């Protein structure tokens, strides 16, 4: 083996080693990205499961604010983009059922 062949093989070996190290680094980065993606998917799934509960909480707060005329609670809801209107009470005898509760509107 002459010097030129020796240097050529040494260069090829160095390139192969660099490619192997790069592959390991890419694999490690890929694993970290998959873990992050799995965590984000879990967060989204849990958020979707809690959406119904959140809607009920907002509805209850809006109804409480409408019934009691609580201005700070109404302002808090409006800060988060939740507005509601109070249905006017129908002119009915005192023994009639109360007016329908307020329905929150999310914008």
- Total structural domains in the chain? 1
DSSP letters spanning 67-97: HHT-HHHHHHHHHTTEEEEPPPPPS--TTSP
Q: How big is the CA angle at 73 (ends 54 and 100), to the nearest 5 degrees?
A: 70
pTM of the predicted model, to two decimals?
A: 0.47
> How buried is 59 (Cβ within 10 angstroms: 0-12 exposed, 13-18 middle, 19+ buried)?
middle
Minimum mean pLDDT range among 9-13, 45-49, 65-69, 89-93: 89-93
Is the residue at 71 inside a domain? yes
Whether residue 56 lies inside any domain: the answer is yes
Question: What is the rounded average pLDDT of the residues 42-50?
Answer: 92
In a domain, 21, yes or no: no
| Residue 62, in any domain of the structure | yes
Task: Establish if 72 belongs to a structural domain.
Answer: yes
Residue 82: domain span: 28-88+100-107
Is there a domain that residue 34 lies in? yes
């Amino acid at each position: 083996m002459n010097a030129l062949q020796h240097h050529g093989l040494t260069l090829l070996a160095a390139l192969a080693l660099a490619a192997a190290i790069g592959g390991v680094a890419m694999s490690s980065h890929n694993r970290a990205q998959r873990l992050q993606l799995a965590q984000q998917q879990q967060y989204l799934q849990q958020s979707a499961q809690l959406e119904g509960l959140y809607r009920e909480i907002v509805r209850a707060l809006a109804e409480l604010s409408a019934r009691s005329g609580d201005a700070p609670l109404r302002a808090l809801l409006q800060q988060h983009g939740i507005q509601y209107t109070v249905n006017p009470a129908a002119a009915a005898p005192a023994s009639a059922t109360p007016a329908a509760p307020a329905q929150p509107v999310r914008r």
